[in-house]
Structure formats: structure tokens, C-alpha cells
A and B are shown apart, each in its own frame.
Chain A
Amino acid sequence: TQLLEQSPQFLSIQEGENLTVYCNSSSVFSSLQWYRQEPGEGPVLLVTVVTGGEVKKLKRLTFQFGDARKDSSLHITAAQPGDTGLYLCAGESITDKLIFGTGTRLQVFP
């Protein structure tokens, strides 16, 4: 079974700080997606990475797919209260299913 472990599980920071969230697996994924979920809402796709080593930027968010396509990271620069939410990575498995990670719950205080 392919699993995606995210760390840290919880993160509370002050506005303006930088942070990195990690998504790790012992398995290879064909592609990897990052979603953000706000309270009372469903997850919303932020980005999809496909190529090993790929880096994508979305304003203050930088996403990287590991060279071996087994891991990914999300870096947020100068976090804002609006970044608060549950961050989920999701990998396309060898069985052509989307496997969701365990999630990182981020709280940014003003």
C-alpha cells in the first residue's frame, strides 16, 4: 500500500514567518497534487507537479517534487492569516488512484 506521510502534523506561526511542509513516501508517484482545505469547505487544488525535481511557484508558495518522485515540499514565504488551513498532498499511485496524505494543519496568527 502506498502511503503519504505529511509533516509536521500541526503548525502554528506568526504572520510574516516562513514555513515548509513535507510530504514523504517510500513509493514512487506519477504525479503529485497539493490541496488546501479551509474549515467547513472541501479541498481546493493549488498545484500539480509531474516531473522529478520540478519546482512550481504560486505567489508566496513554492512547490517542489523530489528527484525520485517519492516526496514533495511546500514552502510558504511571509505567511499570512489567509494561508490558514489544512494542506493535503495527493499522489497518483501505480494503481491509478489518488492517494491523499495525512495533512498538515496550519494556523497563522496576525
Chain B
Amino acid sequence: DAGVIQSPRHEVTEMGQEVTLRCKPISGHNSLFWYRQTMMRGLELLIYFNNNVPIDDSGMPEDRFSAKMPNASFSTLKIQPSEPRDSAVYFCASSTDSHSTGELFFGEGSRLTVL
């Protein structure tokens, strides 16, 4: 069975450029989460959706970050404009639990480097 699929796996861009990260959750999972992982801050929840509706975006660092989930099988996380401090690994995860505390199934992550 396919797990959570993220793309791209790696992205290197220059400061000021727009970055779009993509995620396909596991079929049948109704919750989707975007996390950011850095050495300094560990794994941080940015936003999560339940049935395609954003439930909690309090972790989104700034207005430069936006996330959408137009349907049950696709989500994007966009950073515009990107800055060097946005460099991190961004994980998408999905869950069958409607709360944000059930078992999470993570993708392999998108490693972003902003120069």
C-alpha cells in the first residue's frame, strides 16, 4: 500500500523565490498535518486539516506561509517569499483520527534549502 507521498524530496532555491511543497495522504485518512523539523527546534506542527478543512494553523510562522487542501488526496504548503531561515525538512503526515493526537503516518519529507 502506498504511504504518504511528498514532493519534491529535495529543493534548493534562492531567497525571495516561491516554494511549493506537495503531499498526497494515505487514501481514506481524513486528517492531514504539515510539520517542520530542524535541529534547533525539533518537530513543529505548522497546520492540520480535518476533512479538507484547516482546523489549527497557529503553528504557521508567518504570513509568508500558506497551506491548502483542495481535495481529500492533495495538499500544498507554499512559502512566498522564501528566506534562509525557512531551511528545514518539511513533513506531511496523515491520520484516520479526527483529532490531532492519533497515530500519524509520515511521508519521507521535503528537504528545503534556501540560499
Q: Is the CB of A33 within 8 A of B103?
A: yes
- In the assembled complex, the Cα of A96 lies from the Cα of B100 at a distance in Å of 7
Is A42 within 8 A of B109, CB to CB?
Answer: yes
CB neighbors of B among A74-99 (8 A): 88, 92, 96-98
Asked whether A48 lies within 8 Å of B103 as measured between CB atoms, the reply is yes
CA distance A14 to B85 in the complex (A): 36
Interface residues of A, count at CB 8 A: 19
CB <8 Å contact, B100 and A45: no
- Tell me, yes or no, whether B107 is within 8 Å of chain A by CB: yes
**Which residues of A are in contact with B by a Cβ distance under 8 Å?**
30-31, 33, 40-45, 48, 88, 92, 96-98, 100-103
Nearest 9 pairs of A and B residues by beta carbon: A42-B106, A92-B101, A100-B43, A98-B101, A45-B103, A42-B91, A43-B106, A102-B42, A97-B100
22 residue pairs from A and B, CB less than 8 Å apart: A30-B101, A40-B109, A41-B108, A42-B106, A42-B109, A43-B91, A43-B106, A44-B106, A45-B104, A88-B43, A92-B101, A96-B99, A96-B100, A97-B56, A97-B100, A98-B45, A98-B100, A98-B101, A98-B104, A102-B42, A103-B42, A103-B43
